[in-house]
């Protein structure tokens, strides 16, 4: 049997001095633990008491750390778990207990986190459902929770609306720099990279009702022809050079008819 000989408040914890224990003359405890066990000077403790106190203190410190961590913004249970592990709360059972207590008190709520995250992305018009899902998975949220939240919040109509607005921005950026085919491919690819399906991306593209700007297409073709012809003229000539140039321009999205027409009027550099 031992007892407490002194209790001194430090910056964050309390130092509790002990006597009568072979392997321990002091321990550091949170204020929550001091209050919970009514600890005071001369209080007698045995080994079982000490073990219970230290076990509870791990939980109390873990809860305090978790509350501090979530005070700045919403966190997922996985983020809180990782934070506690990185801050010397190494007992997984106690971490589980902290998570459970905070979850029961609705201080950690992965479902609400997912819903808020999705609504934020929709409001910003910055991402499709697949990209959102991947980001939430990296935050440790159960895919089933994510799928349900997406189903409830991000329906097809909203996806098309967000995709259309993104498509408009892409169009404004590239309309003078790309052919119509290149522009359409760019829009669909960018939307898919943002997390929209090909189907939703195609619907958004069609809604733009893009039309060919003949003057711009011609200017783009001749600009590209100059660059490609200069490159291939270094190593090819005659029919082979013409074929290489034609193929290169076709890969850029120009039609064979337009390429042939441009080449009829074009003089290759010597």
Asked if the structure places residue 269 within a domain, the reply is no
Q: Is 237 found in the same domain as 259?
A: yes
Asked if the structure places residue 96 within a domain, the reply is yes
Structure-token match 């000989």, residue found: 5
Q: Using the Cα atoms of residue 218, residue 221, residue 227 and residue 229 in order, give the sign of their dihedral.
A: negative
Q: How does residue 235 score in pLDDT terms, banded at 50, 70 and 90?
A: confident
pTM for the model: 0.77
Mean pLDDT of 43-49: 89
Q: What is the pLDDT of residues 137-166, one digit of tens each?
A: 999 999 999 999 999 999 999 999 999 999
Q: Is 78 found in the same domain as 27?
A: yes
Which residue blocks in 77-124 are alpha helix, DSSP H? 77-86, 92-104, 110-124
Of 28, 36, 32, 24, the residue nearest 7 (C-alpha)? 28
Q: Is 130 found in the same domain as 79?
A: no
Interior/surface letters 75-94, b for 16+ CB within 10 angstroms, e for the rest = bbbbbbbebbeeeebeeeeb
Asked if the structure places residue 171 within a domain, the reply is yes
DSSP state of 72: S
Q: What is the CATH number of the domain that holds 178?
A: 1.10.10
Does position 270 have pLDDT exceeding 80, yes or no? Answer: no
Q: Is 93 found in the same domain as 10?
A: yes
Q: What is the pLDDT of residues 168-180, one digit of tens each?
A: 999 999 988 888 8
125 neighbors 166 (Cβ within 8 angstroms)? yes
Mean pLDDT of 237-249: 88
232 neighbors 160 (Cβ within 8 angstroms)? no
Q: Is 143 found in the same domain as 201?
A: no
pLDDT at 116: 97
Domain limits for position 117:
110-154
pLDDT at 2: 87
Q: Is 98 found in the same domain as 31?
A: yes
Domain count, the chain: 4
Residue 29, phi then psi, degrees to nearest 5: -130, 155
DSSP state of 118: H
pLDDT at 226: 87
Q: Is 246 found in the same domain as 180?
A: no
Asked if the structure places residue 216 within a domain, the reply is no
Q: Is 136 found in the same domain as 116?
A: yes
Q: What share of the chain has pLDDT > 90, as a percent? A: 55
Asked if the structure places residue 20 within a domain, the reply is yes
Q: Is 142 found in the same domain as 86?
A: no
Share of the chain residues as helix, strand and coil, in percent rounded to the nearest 5? 65, 5, 30
Does position 48 have pLDDT exceeding 80, yes or no? Answer: yes
């Amino acid at each position: 049997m031992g007892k407490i000989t002194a209790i001194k408040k430090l910056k964050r914890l309390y130092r509790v001095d002990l006597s009568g224990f072979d392997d321990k003359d002091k321990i550091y405890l949170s204020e929550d633990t001091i209050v919970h066990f009514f600890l005071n000077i001369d209080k007698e403790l045995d080994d079982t008491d000490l073990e219970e106190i230290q076990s509870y203190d791990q939980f109390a410190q873990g809860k305090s750390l978790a509350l501090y961590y979530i005070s700045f913004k919403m966190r997922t249970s996985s983020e809180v778990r990782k934070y506690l592990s990185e801050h010397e709360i190494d007992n997984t059972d106690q971490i589980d207990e902290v998570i459970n207590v905070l979850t029961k008190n609705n201080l950690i709520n992965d479902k609400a986190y997912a819903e808020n995250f999705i609504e934020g992305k929709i409001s910003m018009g910055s991402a499709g459902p697949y990209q959102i899902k991947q980001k939430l998975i990296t935050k440790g949220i159960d895919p089933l929770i994510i799928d349900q939240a997406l189903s409830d919040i991000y329906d097809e109509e909203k996806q098309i609306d967000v995709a259309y607005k993104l498509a408009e921005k892409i169009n404004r950026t590239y309309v003078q720099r790309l052919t119509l085919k290149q522009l359409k491919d760019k829009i669909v690819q960018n939307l898919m990279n943002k997390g929209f399906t090909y189907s939703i991306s195609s619907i958004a593209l069609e809604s733009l009702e893009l039309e060919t700007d003949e003057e711009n297409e011609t200017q783009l073709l001749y600009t590209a022809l100059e660059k490609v012809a200069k490159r291939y003229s270094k190593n090819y000539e005659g029919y082979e050079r013409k074929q290489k140039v034609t193929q290169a321009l076709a890969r850029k999205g120009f039609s064979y008819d337009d390429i042939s027409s441009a080449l009829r009027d074009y003089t290759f550099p010597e």
